[in-house]
Amino acid sequence: MNEEIRQKLLTMADEDYRQFSASLIPGVETMLGVRIPQLRKMAKDIAKEDWKSAIEGGHTYFEEVMLHGLVLSYVRLPLEQMLPYIRDFIPFVDNWSVCDSVFMGMKVFRTDRERTWQFLQPYLSSDREFEIRIALMVMMQHFLKCDKDGNECRRLRSVSMEMLSADEKAGKYLHRIFSELNKVKTDAYYASMMAAWLAAEAFCCFPKHTLEYIKKNTLDLMTRNRAVRKILESRIPDKEVKDIIRNL
């Protein structure tokens, strides 16, 4: 990150916010305390200018890594042109905050989902915790909420008992997602939590198919239990549905 941007970040630092954020993100020791909305605004402005020069060089602070990723999420270039920059950025991700804040909003992945799926494969089989989390996050945010034809759809507002036995059309990528979930190494905490989150979100979109998956999956027991707990914490399933889930 260039020196001008680094100095600007230093002037935006908030010690109280730094202490609060640092308590939520274990292992991060280089945080300044710049709020995410401020970083997003900076990233949007940089993405309209000479963004390649802005992201050159190393990172001294947590906020520089976050800003780097956010800039990439706001640049408007074809996927093939962006993938080398995204690939170079991924090794810098070492916490859940940067992973989730950046890759949730990286909508360029939706412009060519088949190419994105190929791009994700090495990360799904990685032995690095946050590379797995990134891949699962992209699958949840940019693949899961698709109908059978690949068109974007929303999660359900509620899940009733009747829905668990009704004819349900699986999303275009749903079973591919389940297949990858069964193969990934989820013993690392943040990868496991992301896998559980993905399974729980799938239940809120395609409950019948996801319930069948949860019953038959090959996830490790801890991840499976976390997925069940996340479904139970959701307000979307009815009480009767939660009773069934709880029995799992």
pTM value > 0.75: yes
Same domain, 205 and 182: yes
Same domain, 175 and 85: no
Which backbone phi and psi does 122 adopt, to 5 degrees? -60, -30
User: 52-75, pLDDT tens digit by residue?
Assistant: 999 988 899 999 999 999 999 999
Do residues 186 and 223 touch, judged by C-beta distance below 8 A?
yes
Q: Which of 109, 129, 161 is the last residue of a domain?
A: 109
Q: Which of 63, 89, 109 is the last residue of a domain?
A: 109
**How far is Cα 186 from Cα 223, in angstroms, rounded to an integer?**
7
Closest CA to 210 of 186, 228, 226, 192: 228
The domain in which residue 55 lies consists of 1-109
- 3-state secondary structure at position 109: helix
Predicted pLDDT of residue 70:
98
Same domain, 65 and 187: no
Same domain, 129 and 150: yes
First-to-last alpha carbon distance for the chain, in angstroms, is 48
Using CA atoms, how far residue 112 sits from 2, 47, 153, 197, 246, in Å, is 31, 21, 17, 24, 38
Same domain, 151 and 102: no
Closest CA to 177 of 158, 152, 202, 151: 202
Same domain, 160 and 100: no
CA dihedral for 76, 118, 134, 64, sign (positive or negative)? negative
**How far is Cα 28 from Cα 30, in angstroms, rounded to an integer?**
6
Same domain, 244 and 183: yes
Which backbone phi and psi does 217 adopt, to 5 degrees? -70, 170
Do residues 214 and 248 touch, judged by C-beta distance below 8 A?
yes
User: 81-132, pLDDT tens digit by residue?
Assistant: 999 999 999 999 999 999 999 999 999 999 999 999 999 999 999 999 999 9
Same domain, 100 and 117: no
Same domain, 72 and 136: no
